[in-house]
């Protein structure tokens, strides 16, 4: 069970790898897309860009595969393949619905701050019937700079009308943790593809095995 210094006034969720089990689908889609352009991608490369916006991923691709890579073709093709994979096998991460139910019971509002395109995020949430469970869903275009910059989490706090220091941020990626911690939020990491480093551990209030553990921690605080 996690421990926090105080009960949060709001909770801000990441999306990919935290709410939806999408990171493995993103990686599979990138492997397939790059293979179509004659390149083999090692999983280790994808792990370096987890939790970052497309502009950062694009830079990483060009650095890894060279300036002749048609990155502006690969981006849309990658997303298209990802969407196709999601329609086949998108799944919720364990504990999502139970945590949202607990937040409702405690009267704690929730928001999402994601690096994924807005239309794609809404397709995921609408398909899962979860859109109305959040006060707002922020995506690129709703903030100036992507993770690891604090802008996504600061924007979410403004939308919620809550001081960032009174918010709990839930993240699965290292760049997401950096973003939330820089915004001044209580930050809990629920690792997906990558675990914490000593740096990341120092930025977190806790490392949780899953969202059930987060829920239990909030219940204990509210008791």
What predicted TM-score, i.e. pTM, was given to this entire model? 0.88
Contact 208, 189 (CB under 8 A): yes
Cis peptide before 148 (omega within 30 of 0): yes
Which one is catalytic: 16, 21, 172, 192? Answer: 16
pLDDT at 167: 98
pLDDT at 178: 97
Helices (H), the chain: 23-36, 43-49, 54-65, 71-89, 96-106, 118-128, 151-160, 174-182, 198-203, 211-222
Determine whether 60 is exposed, middle or buried from the number of CB atoms within 10 Å of its CB (0-12, 13-18, 19+). middle
Whether 16 sits among the annotated catalytic residues: the reply is yes
User: With left for phi above 0 and alpha for psi between -120 and 50, is residue 51 left, alpha or beta?
Assistant: left
Q: pLDDT tens digits for the chain (223 residues)?
A: 799 999 999 999 999 999 999 989 999 999 999 999 999 988 888 888 877 778 889 999 999 999 999 999 999 999 999 999 998 889 999 999 999 999 999 999 999 999 988 999 999 999 999 999 999 999 999 999 999 999 999 999 999 999 999 999 999 999 999 999 999 999 999 999 889 999 999 999 999 999 999 999 999 999 9
Which one is catalytic: 14, 21, 172, 192? Answer: 14
Q: How many residues does the chain have?
A: 223
pLDDT at 84: 92
Whether 101 sits among the annotated catalytic residues: the reply is no
pLDDT at 56: 86
pLDDT at 50: 78
């Amino acid at each position: 069970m996690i421990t926090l210094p105080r009960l949060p006034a709001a909770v801000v969720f990441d999306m990919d790898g935290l709410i939806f089990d999408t990171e493995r689908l993103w990686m599979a889609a990138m492997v397939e897309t790059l293979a179509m352009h004659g390149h083999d991608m090692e999983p280790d490369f994808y792990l370096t860009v987890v939790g970052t916006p497309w502009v950062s991923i694009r830079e990483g691709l060009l650095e890894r595969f060279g300036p002749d890579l048609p990155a502006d073709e690969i981006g849309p093709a990658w997303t298209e393949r990802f969407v196709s994979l999601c329609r086949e096998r998108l799944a919720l991460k364990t504990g999502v619905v139970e945590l949202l139910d607990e937040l409702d019971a405690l009267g704690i509002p929730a928001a999402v701050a994601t690096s994924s395109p807005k239309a794609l995020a809404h397709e995921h949430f609408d398909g899962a019937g979860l859109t109305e469970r959040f006060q707002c869903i922020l995506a690129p275009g709703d903030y100036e700079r992507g993770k690891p910059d604090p802008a996504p989490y600061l924007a979410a706090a403004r939308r919620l009308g809550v001081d960032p220091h009174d918010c709990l941020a839930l993240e699965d990626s290292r760049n997401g943790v950096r973003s939330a911690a820089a915004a001044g939020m209580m930050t809990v990491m629920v690792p997906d593809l990558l675990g914490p480093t000593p740096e990341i551990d120092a930025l977190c209030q806790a490392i949780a095995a899953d969202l059930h553990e987060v829920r239990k921690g909030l219940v204990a605080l509210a008791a």
